[in-house]
Amino acid sequence: MAFTLPKLPKFSGRTIAVLAVAGALGVGAIAASASKQQQAAAPPKPADGQAAPLTADKANDQTSLEAAAAAEAKLAQCRSARLIPVNKTWGIPMPSVNGSSSTNCNLKYGDTPHRGSDRTGDPLTAIQVLQRNLNSCYGTKLTVDGIYGKNTRAVVTMVQRKHKIVVDGIYGPKTRSAMNWRLYSSATRSWSKTCSSPL
């Protein structure tokens, strides 16, 4: 038994044109609807000169970075400087907590050298150690005066931007860990020829 296909109706040229237009409009409507859904799901593009809006993840990351920076800003002033060992040969002279090898402290604008009425420790040396290192590793020409003034703050801000951390102009643990340092060897009494970020 042979199988035969049913006969299709014959359409005029005008009917075919109308059906083609209707089909194209239907496909166009579906594509436009899909495009609108994609645009609704995607974050809006910023206008020229504006920063890109934060997505939920980026906003959370930014909030946590800002919270960490705020916590660092509340740390005690660095009132000493110590050679912090990196290995058996080299160490890093860096600002530290007075009477401790801890470097969880900060230096900020207005430290000239002491902050507030507390006159303990040696923040002058801590600030000078930071200034010398900035000059050696970042090619700046800061006056090594032990005053955390506008020039020192500007250089710290530049370092923070360079290393993509929160830019607040305060030297603290995040800046310490991100920035490059010149190493010193007590055994040979010599400085490293290059700077690195060994922390």
| Cβ atoms of residues 98 and 122 within 8 Å | yes
Rounded to 5°, the CA angle 155-124-190 comes to 75
| Domains with residue ranges and CATH for the chain | 70-191 (1.10.101.10)
Poorest-confidence range of 62-76, 112-126, 185-199? 62-76
pTM, to two decimals? 0.68
The three-state secondary structure class of 153 is helix
* Over residues 120-142, mean pLDDT: 97
Rounded-to-integer distance, Cα 123 and Cα 146, Å: 8
* pLDDT band at 49; cut points 50, 70, 90: very low
Q: Which helix (H) or strand (E) holds 63?
A: helix 56-73
Query: pLDDT of 1-27, one tens digit each?
Result: 554 545 555 555 565 555 555 555 555
User: What are phi and psi for residue 198, nearest 5 degrees?
Assistant: -85, 0
Mean residue pLDDT across the chain: 81
* pLDDT band at 51; cut points 50, 70, 90: very low
* pLDDT band at 77; cut points 50, 70, 90: very high
**AA identity, residue 1:** M
